[in-house]
Homo-oligomer: A and B are copies of this chain.
Amino acid sequence: MVGGGEGAFIGAVHRIAARLDDCWELVAGALSSDAARAQASAEALGLARSYDDWREMASVEGAREDGIDAVAIVTPNHLHAPVAHAFMEAGIHVICDKPLAVSLAEGEALAKHARDANLVFALTHTYSGYPLARHARELVEAGEIGEVRIVQVEYAQDWLANPVERGGANRQAAWRTDPALAGPAGCLGDIGTHAYQLAAFVSALVPESLAAEMHTFVPGRRVDDHVQAMLRYANGARGMLWASQVASGAENALRLRVYGTTAGLAFDQEEPNVLWFTPQGGEAQRLTRGRVTGAAARHATRVPPGHPEGYLEAFAQLYRDAAAQIHAREAGVAAPPGSRLLTTVDDGVDGLRFIEAVLASSAAGGTWRSIARP
């Protein structure tokens, strides 16, 4: 991993994601451009090999017999291209956070490099990993909505409604609004590209022309914080896209509607367990992650119907709390307060009191029973 040291946001997300399906092990990293922070972060994560510099990491790992299979690049945008080139030169596959680069020319060079070197170059447009986003794409490809006529996509946030990049407390805001680190596209590059990608992913279409309007609402901000565009597609379809980081009240509202000649689709990443499919003139069908039977959704599904995306995290919480309590018990200290809500054998006993009372009441024709507790 390059980037993702202490205080970073997306690095930790990448690490959990990499671990979740047991396909990856994190063994090496150049976690920060600051050598001390890189070292401390690596220790905190129990990393086998820590580097102060990503160039060194690329060459050393590329040369090792047991070198890394792939590098995850989670730096600010301006480093994506140089880091990726360095690792590809070392024959290492790349998993890179979005946006790919800070200019089209940079991006094209990366694509050519990956192609020439026959390396996999994955770009983490997260939202296309949702089972129902994939199902939506599959429905479109299967002709289930007819020919696409209208694409409406939007991505609204409100965390930059005020000049939070000033003062230094918000490091995320600082680099994401600094053109030297984020590139010339602010909101456009940060979330506009997600909106664009999701629309293209699901509709299986890319626009052929556009008219766009970038705007900076917060005085003094050096990049755009709002962008809106109208789109024209080669097949005659029309579309609109807007993305904003000053849309007061919005959390992370990435929403897509695609209307075809025979049906429409709607997906909202804030409710990723649901996909709406509505035939022209007909009733809306609420497709759910667990019940759709398409291959693409199945491929990306881990838990059964009704267990929403997120169920695994709830489950993991219990494992985390149990670990905390066990460590504390072994160490003979008090369990940390955060773990106090772990359900234990005592909850189980009370649940069995309930079961026994129900069995008794029901057996007696539904009469009232008291639930005896010591």
Question: By the criterion CB–CB under 8 Å, are B272 and A310 in contact?
Answer: yes
Question: By the criterion CB–CB under 8 Å, are A371 and B242 in contact?
Answer: no
Question: By the criterion CB–CB under 8 Å, are B249 and A316 in contact?
Answer: no
Question: By the criterion CB–CB under 8 Å, are A193 and B264 in contact?
Answer: no
Of B96, B188, B279, B337, which one neighbours A348 at CB under 8 angstroms?
B96
Interface centre among A96, A98, A355 (most CB of B within 10 A): A355
A146 within 8 A of B: yes
Question: By the criterion CB–CB under 8 Å, are A371 and B206 in contact?
Answer: yes
Question: By the criterion CB–CB under 8 Å, are A359 and B305 in contact?
Answer: no
| 11 A-B interface contacts by CB (under 8 A) | A19-B19, A20-B313, A23-B319, A128-B314, A129-B317, A159-B305, A206-B373, A214-B362, A229-B358, A272-B308, A296-B341
Q: Tell me the bound Cα distance from A308 to B273 in angstroms.
A: 10
Residue ID in chain B nearest A200 by CB atoms: B350
CB distance from A219 to the nearest CB of B (A): 10
CB distance from A280 to the nearest CB of B (A): 4
Question: By the criterion CB–CB under 8 Å, are B18 and A270 in contact?
Answer: no
Copies in the complex: 4
Question: By the criterion CB–CB under 8 Å, are A252 and B291 in contact?
Answer: no
Given pairs A122-B321, A251-B305, 19 additional interface contacts (CB within 8 A): A13-B303, A16-B20, A69-B326, A93-B329, A99-B348, A108-B352, A111-B346, A124-B315, A149-B248, A161-B261, A193-B355, A201-B341, A208-B370, A230-B230, A247-B257, A248-B264, A249-B279, A308-B310, A310-B310
Interface centre among A134, A285, A345 (most CB of B within 10 A): A345
Q: Tell me the bound Cα distance from A369 to B232 in angstroms.
A: 10
Q: Tell me the bound Cα distance from A157 to B281 in angstroms.
A: 9
Of B156, B213, B316, which one neighbours A17 at CB under 8 angstroms?
B316
Question: By the criterion CB–CB under 8 Å, are B278 and A137 in contact?
Answer: no
Question: By the criterion CB–CB under 8 Å, are B264 and A320 in contact?
Answer: no
Q: Tell me the bound Cα distance from A230 to B22 in angstroms.
A: 45
A67 within 8 A of B: no
Interface stretch of the complex, out of A33-41, A53-61, A113-121: A113-121
Tell me the chain A residues, 31-88 only, with Cβ under 8 Å from chain B: 69-70
Question: By the criterion CB–CB under 8 Å, are B247 and A369 in contact?
Answer: no
Tell me the chain A residues, 132-190 only, with Cβ under 8 Å from chain B: 133-134, 137, 145-146, 149-150, 152, 154, 156-159, 161-162, 184-185, 188-189
